[in-house]
Amino acid sequence: MTLKILEDRLSSIAFKGKEARSRVSCGKNSVSGAVSQRACVFCGARVVLNPITDAFHLVHGPIGCASYTWDIRGSLSSGSQLYRHSFSTDLKEKDVVFGGAEKLEAAVREIVEKYQPPLIFIYSTCLVGVIGDDVEAVCRKAESQYGIRVINVKAPGFAGHKAMGYRLASEAIMKLISREPEVPKEKFGVNILGDYNLAGEAWIIGNYLKEIGVPVVTTFTGDSTCASLRRSLGALLNVVQCAGSMMYLAKGMEESFDIPFIKASFFGLADTKSALLKIADLIGSKEVRRKAAILCHRETEKAQRELSPYLPKLKGKKAAIFVGGGFKAISLMRQFEELGMETVLVGTQTGTSEDYEVIASLASKGTVILDDANPSELESFMRQKGADILVGGVKERPLAYKLGIAFCDHNHERKIPLSGFTGAVNFTKEINLSINSPVWAHLRKKPSLGIWS
Amino acid sequence: MLDQTPKELIKRDGLRINPLKTCQPVGALYAALGVKKCMPHSHGSQGCVSYHRTFLTRHFKEPAIASSSSFTEGASVFGGGANLRSSVKNIFDLYDPDIIAVHTTCLSETIGDDLNSYILEMEIPDDKLVVHCNTPSYVGSHIHGYANMVAGFIKYLADKNAPKNEKLGFFPGFVNPGDLREYKRLLELMGVEFIMLPDQTGVMDSPMTGVYEMFPKGGTTIEEIRALGGVKEALAMGDFASTEPALVLKSKCGVETKVLPLPFGVEGTDKFLMELSRISGNPVPKVLEEERGRLIDLMLDANPYFYAKRCSIFGDPDTVLGILSLALELGMKPIHLITGTPGELFERKAKEILAAYGLEGEGRVKSSGDLFELHQWIKNDGSDLLIGTSYGKQIAKAEDLPFVRAGFPVLDRYGHAYEPLLGYQGGLILAKRIADTIMDRMDRDVLDEDLEVVM
């Protein structure tokens, strides 16, 4: 089947090396009628805030949005498990007609009576955006009545795409932390932005930093609590890991509270090492720098030792990348290079034009670069390029498998930590496991004895 | 993780905790995937369809295709007509399905988009079709969405002037492809020619070939849906999922319809086969009689392990009622029956079934419930076994209960969509799952000196 591409989509696809179209247009709304892999504003806000473990995440709207986002993100908690429950107002027809504010008030009251929480986020979904409940008023009233923080996350799905939701989540966090009185600075303390502690990844990075004498004040938002977020202004530096979701917060904290930020990636050996050394440099302590150098040397050696047996099995294999943010895509390209693999396709849901410039600079000739791809485009380009493995999220997994292409989940459903030195080894093992699984042999070597009709 | 659930039952007016249902559109999407070369289309924000596809993929472990009108701020103020028009054009240009099945969302319903007139007024290529149904997310559950979409296909396509045929119209209910295959096997063994709507076999259980088909081979054809107008009669399986399509087929085409419960367990399957025998005039073949015998054999062999076990069953209404019947036949004592789907009919039916086994007025039965409430019941009453969807695993862990997965969705195990739970064969599978789970637990809990190799 030859691929048909909608005219409106053409500018979102580029081929490295063909000058006329090496720039990707991005950040546009999805085309009506396209089978997009992209999620909505609410989804963006929810995935960023949900890992705050002791907050109540109350979805104000009909049941669907609460149902689909219940306990789906493998963000681990070292304390409260409250964030894994689903709380919603489950709006009905009568609420649509008469307004849902009263029900929302009742829900907040019931939460406060039962759990005395420090913090409630109210996510207003599409329907609420249309029926016009005054959620702000409910929040104000509840805050004064109960003495807790109740923050409205106004996230109707139609207000843009997922990246807009990231921004709203950042605004909600700013609302929370900006009301904090003077927070004392913590010696060498940093915040990690954009790590959601999937499979315990934030703990791995936290341990590296602890070893070099840099305490993590809080992570935004993996395994964070209302209290840890409130202490975040005690950090000297913000380390932004997932820039797609957290740039807005990083910039806001720099402007309002003079906390500078750096972008850093902890995916892959090279990126992890340079991130740790960069943080040590900025902290400016000789001792920290010395410890960082020792740790990086030790861990890099150890990791290389562990992953070297896999390299011959992966050499020359072709990888396709389709992930949420541009920054992660860039890191993955570097990681595949470390493994001796070639990246033949790179796509993101929400990458920015700066991300795509970096991607283009890293890509080899002929690499396909595309923004907000749909399954047909992914399929067609993966086949055309002969990809051996796809790195993506849940919707891409069955697509890859159906094509007989290996798959690695680098999204919410990953069960094994993929960040840091340890993660680089895990990632290599995952890639090997999928690419070299014996199951592919059955597909490729179907006996051709004329027994199949 | 759910150990934060308090034991004390409190009346809740505003708060839904840990839902036992989801919204209508996902059911509509699943129904539309059971029509051949059909593109399900969500008329709302793009997030909706992204969630629905993900949800179905997590259960079936298959790609679930659907497009979206991708509402913007503008569309939600001025209406989504333009979005739908350009969607339909783009979908036919790009993906070339034979039919687009549009369902609405809470957003498009609330702003008052009139899909009837949008579709009437739009340009549709001659050989192509666009149908729709209304699926407001703030009414009912995914089960209603499923029923509404099946009814939508009939409203648009079933032809009351279709030439009379000798076939049976068959609405299978919201079940897995494994169940659909079992239905088909039973219908064929009984010599009943049928038109099944929808039919997700070959779509949501498509085999691995190394080729990705956006529209896999399975699905009810448009011609078959048209011919539903001329069938001899129709059987609708499941009160909640199939009554609506049955009513619509009757009122539109005058077809006699009958609603049956999902054929779970011995009696449920007996009833179903007797109905098929009446329709075809054929006796039940030996092979099915033997299957029935094997199921009863297993029930007898393992009966001490089932007997008087107090079990809690949750999930979609038709499924819970079916599992309830089988559980009672096994000699278990269901004490909790709960669904998130609203409808007082669920309570009435469940109580009738319990009463037939002398359990009148016993146990707790509820529609429009949630898992938080079920967990509270279990904290108060205890339970020996939990049967339901993957969302029960958290309760099972918190309360250290043996747990059998059955129903929709099963997100955390593989192969479930392939296995039937219906018919005698499905009964065998479900009874075996239950026995294995109960006995694995006994082995785990028993003292070393009491561990038995023969049980």
Q: Do B25 and A64 touch (CB under 8 A)?
A: yes
Nearest to B138 among A71, A96, A397 (CB): A96
**C-beta of residue B66 within 8 angstroms of C-beta of residue A35:** yes
Question: Does residue B275 share a domain with residue B225?
Answer: yes
Q: Do A62 and B138 touch (CB under 8 A)?
A: yes
pLDDT at A17 (0 to 100)? 61
Question: Does residue A249 share a domain with residue A214?
Answer: yes
The interface pTM score, or ipTM, of the predicted complex is 0.94
Instruction: Please give the Cα distance from A193 to A38 (Å, whole number).
Output: 23
**Which of A135, A154, A176 represents a domain boundary (last residue)?**
A176
Neighbouring C-alpha atoms within 13 Å toward the C-beta of A381: 25
**Which of A123, A152, A176 represents a domain boundary (last residue)?**
A176
Question: Does residue B293 share a domain with residue B220?
Answer: no
- Reported as a single tens digit per residue, the pLDDT across B300-349 is 999 999 999 999 999 999 999 999 999 999 999 999 999 999 999 999 99
Question: Does residue B200 share a domain with residue B244?
Answer: yes
**Which of B235, B262, B280 represents a domain boundary (last residue)?**
B280
Does some domain include residue B221? yes
Does some domain include residue A158? yes
Does some domain include residue A328? yes
Q: Do B45 and A126 touch (CB under 8 A)?
A: yes
Q: Do B19 and A397 touch (CB under 8 A)?
A: no
Question: Does residue B430 share a domain with residue B306?
Answer: yes
Chain B neighbors of A93, CB-CB under 8 A: 136, 138-139
Does some domain include residue B2? no
Does some domain include residue A421? no
Question: Does residue B251 share a domain with residue B354?
Answer: no
Count of domains for chain B: 3
Chain B neighbors of A110, CB-CB under 8 A: 10, 12-15
Indicate the SS3 state at residue B365.
strand
Question: Does residue B297 share a domain with residue B432?
Answer: yes
Instruction: Please give the Cα distance from A267 to A275 (Å, whole number).
Output: 10
Question: Does residue A320 share a domain with residue A287?
Answer: no
Nearest to A110 among B12, B41, B75 (CB): B12
Question: Does residue A113 share a domain with residue A49?
Answer: yes
- Reported as a single tens digit per residue, the pLDDT across A305-343 is 999 999 999 999 999 999 877 888 999 999 999 999 999
* pLDDT category of residue A1 using cuts at 50, 70 and 90: very low
Boundaries of domain holding B42: 24-157
Question: Does residue A165 share a domain with residue A51?
Answer: yes
- Reported as a single tens digit per residue, the pLDDT across B69-118 is 998 888 888 899 999 999 999 999 999 999 999 999 999 999 999 999 99
pLDDT at A452 (0 to 100)? 63
Instruction: Please give the Cα distance from B143 to B173 (Å, whole number).
Output: 9
* pLDDT category of residue A20 using cuts at 50, 70 and 90: very low
Indicate the SS3 state at residue B424.
helix
Count of domains for chain A: 3
Q: What is the CATH number of the domain that holds A276?
A: 3.40.50.1980
Q: Residue A41: name the closest of B72, B136, B16 by CA.
A: B72
Tokens standing for residue A151: 């923050």
Question: Does residue A195 share a domain with residue A70?
Answer: no
Question: Does residue B135 share a domain with residue B174?
Answer: no
Q: Which helix (H) or strand (E) holds B233?
A: strand B233-237
**Which of B231, B261, B280 represents a domain boundary (last residue)?**
B280
Boundaries of domain holding A65: 41-176
Does some domain include residue A10? no
Does some domain include residue B8? no
Percentage of chain B exceeding pLDDT 70: 100
Chain A neighbors of B41, CB-CB under 8 A: 33
How many A×B Cβ pairs under 8 Å?
247
Q: For residue B179, give how far its alpha carbon lies from the nearest alpha carbon of chain A (Å).
A: 22
Question: Does residue A200 share a domain with residue A296?
Answer: yes
Question: Does residue A134 share a domain with residue A55?
Answer: yes
Chain A neighbors of B28, CB-CB under 8 A: none
Distances (CA, A) of B451 to A347, B434, B436, B437, B444: 56, 20, 15, 16, 9
Q: What is the CATH number of the domain that holds B71?
A: 3.40.50.1980
